[in-house]
Structures are given as structure tokens and as C-alpha cells.
Amino acid sequence: MNIPFNKPYFSSNSIKYIEQVIYSGKTGGDGKFTNKCKKLLERTLIAKNVIMTTSCTHALELAIQLINLQDMDEVIMPSYTFPSTANSVLLNGGKVVFTEINKDDLCINANKIEEKITNKTKAIVVVHYGGNACDMDKIMNVANKYNLYVIEDVAQGFLSTYKERQLGTIGHFGCLSFHETKNVSAGEGGAIIINSNNEELVKRAKYIRQKGTNRIDFELGNVDYYQWVDVGSSYCPSEILMAYLYSQLENIEDIHIQRRKIFNNYVRIFRDINSDKITFYSKGNKFGDFNAHIFYIIFKDQIYSKAFIERLKNKGIAVYTHLIPLHLSEMGLSIGYNKSDFPYEQFLYKRLIRLPIYYDITDEELDKIEEAIRETIH
């Protein structure tokens, strides 16, 4: 019995909805299921404006375009994040400024942001790691003090909250992911949340998303022809993807109940073991509801993490490391960072291990994982 690291949730409605799209002849974007996903997300998140995109990567790029970066304007973000966070800035001519993370929840250290601010700083991108919420009150206070935009990278944080507010609805923009590896998926997919009543800003987002054209005006019957009106790209997902996503969004509460059950089981195991080989393990979101996206362990030494991976792999259990900090990557070094710039992040990435969490993991599989963990960590 091999146990994978992840299995996408499967809804019995997914094939039915996809067939409806195919038979309708409307397989491009902005049809029935795109609108259903948008409306359901706006209700669930209590969000003003949700626009579906082809990925969280594209949602981030769209958010950065909307803040109108000038030449080498600076955007602060954690080094411990996925490349899309930084690429969105570089693709729009900005400068990436990395900063530190907290040692427990691995979110951006809100106390370190202000010292990175210069007269060129335009925005802060916060990354809600593993479903943990960043300290948004502190971050928004700093942003307001310096008149900065805040973009929430919620790729891993869908349905976690900060003091009863949904992640992605607190900053100026929120960017969601529905990639295959996420709790709720479309295979590939995402959304941008625009937390503003500025109708011109929302309209511009729709223009950028549709290749820089005012196609939305044409479809509403407001113009006779649609034309090129802005610099844009193709960020509009197909109806097939949205039909698949909607079949999952209908079941989000069941998905998260099950994931939290698995997560809490892992917490129990590591609390019982109480090993001195471990520096830290996931405890959940200290600021509110938790989506149980990731359960991670941070070992004191790389020797322990390598042995743990190898032992569980030999037992047919897939466990993984996670992100290489961006300042350590080829691109990070090429834009002027040094390997020694963020010591904790350098320590972290070789010692952090993630355990399997997916909806239909069985009790038998969980028992096998627990047995392997207890045999490996003494």
C-alpha cells in the first residue's frame, strides 16, 4: 500500500458539469460556471469583487499591474515563497526586496517590514504560508503609515481567517490558487479579490484579464466593437476548468473538516512523541480558522530530515521538503542577494518536511503513517 503525498478531491458532480459545458458549445471563458464560481466565492469570503483567473500566478501578475509600478519601484516580500510571488514584480519592471519570516508559522515577520521600506517602496506582498495567517493588523498599520499597497498571496490560505476575516479580503488585493495541489482545485486555476469599491479599478482588471481589450463592454452590449485598450494578457480560465472547480467548491466545508481531522491527528502524534530531534511542528493558525493545507515538521539537523524522508519512502509513504528560499536560488543570486542574507531561511529549507494530507486518506493509511513516524523518530 503506497500512500501519495496528495490526491485532488473528486466530486461526483464534476463529470456532469464538464459534460454540460461541452454540450453547451461554450467552452471558452466567462460563461455559466465562471459566474457560479465567482458568486460562490464572493458569498463564502464576504468579498466585494472576485475575478476568476487561470492561476494564482496570473492573479499576482494582475494585482501588480493594477498598482502601476514605475521603473524599479520596490515590492517587499518574504524570501521563503514560491517564484511566482517575485516573478510578478520582475515581469512588471519592479525590484524585489526580500525580508524575513517568523520561525514558527513561516509567515512574513511583520516586525521586520518597516526597516526595508525606502522612498521607492510601492507595495508589500504577504504570503499566508500553509494556511497560517500573517499578522495583518501590524502589516496594514505599516502600509497605511507609508501609503503602500498590500497584496495577499493566499495560494495556500483559502478559507483560513485572520480575526474572523477571510484571508485575501484584508489587503488591497488577494490572490487565490486552485492548482491541483491545493485543498480545492481546478487542476490549474485561481482568482483575484479586489477589495475596493473603485469601479474603474475593477473594470481595468477585467480589461487586463481579457488580453487588454474591452471585450466585457462588448458582451454587455455597451459598444459595437471591442478593441485594445490596455496592456493585458490571457488570464481568463476556460469553462471546463470552472465547471470542475465549481463541483469542488460546493463541498468546501466537508473538504476542510476532513483535512483538519488529519492535521489534528498529526499534532497528536508529534505531541506524544515530543522528540528532541524536532525544533517545531505545525500547530495551526494562531489568528483564526485554519484550512489545514500543510502539516510540516522542522528538524534540528538535516541528518534527521534526510533519514526521515528515506525511512518513510522505503515504507511507501510520500513526504516532501518544500520551498528553496528565493534569495538562495539562481535568480535570487543574480539580482544581488547573497546566500548568507537570511540565515534562518537557509537553515529551514533542508530541515522542513511535509506529511500527506488529502480528503480521502483512510484510517488504515493514517495508522501506517503513524507507525512509520514512531519507528523513525525516537
- Per-residue b/e over 149-181, b at no fewer than 16 CB within 10 Å? bbbbbbbbbbbbbbeeebbbbbbbbbbbbbbee
223 to each of 30, 125, 213, 214, 231, how far by Cα in Å?
Answer: 18, 36, 12, 9, 20
Could you give the maximum distance between any two Cα atoms of the chain, in Å? Answer: 72
- Per-residue b/e over 318-328, b at no fewer than 16 CB within 10 Å? ebebbbbbbbb
Per-residue model confidence (pLDDT) at position 233: 96
Integer Cα distance of 71 and 108 in angstroms: 25
Q: Of 31, 64, 28, whose CA–CA distance to 205 is shortest?
A: 64
Per-residue model confidence (pLDDT) at position 97: 98
Please name every residue paired with 96 in a beta bridge, in sequence order, or none if there are none: 75
Kindly give the parts of the chain with pLDDT less than 50: none
Q: Are 308 and 275 in contact (CB under 8 A)?
A: no
375 to each of 305, 312, 370, how far by Cα in Å?
Answer: 14, 10, 9
- Per-residue b/e over 200-234, b at no fewer than 16 CB within 10 Å? eebebbbbbbbbbbbbbbeeeeeeeebeebbebbe
Per-residue model confidence (pLDDT) at position 328: 97
Per-residue model confidence (pLDDT) at position 116: 98
Single-letter code of the amino acid located at 324:
I
Integer Cα distance of 320 and 169 in angstroms: 30
What's the distance, CA 34 to chain centroid? Answer: 20
Interior angle at CA 175, CA 171 and CA 177, nearest 5? 150
Per-residue model confidence (pLDDT) at position 199: 95
Per-residue model confidence (pLDDT) at position 180: 97
Per-residue model confidence (pLDDT) at position 378: 75
Per-residue model confidence (pLDDT) at position 66: 98
Per-residue model confidence (pLDDT) at position 42: 98
Integer Cα distance of 296 and 58 in angstroms: 27
Per-residue model confidence (pLDDT) at position 333: 97
Integer Cα distance of 363 and 350 in angstroms: 30
Integer Cα distance of 229 and 260 in angstroms: 46
Per-residue model confidence (pLDDT) at position 71: 87
Per-residue model confidence (pLDDT) at position 75: 98
Q: Which domains does the chain have, with CATH numbers?
A: 14-249 (3.40.640.10), 252-376 (3.90.1150.10)
Helix axes 239-249, 252-273, angle to 10 degrees: 60
| Grid cell locating 374 | 514512531
Q: Are 150 and 279 in contact (CB under 8 A)?
A: no
Integer Cα distance of 95 and 70 in angstroms: 10
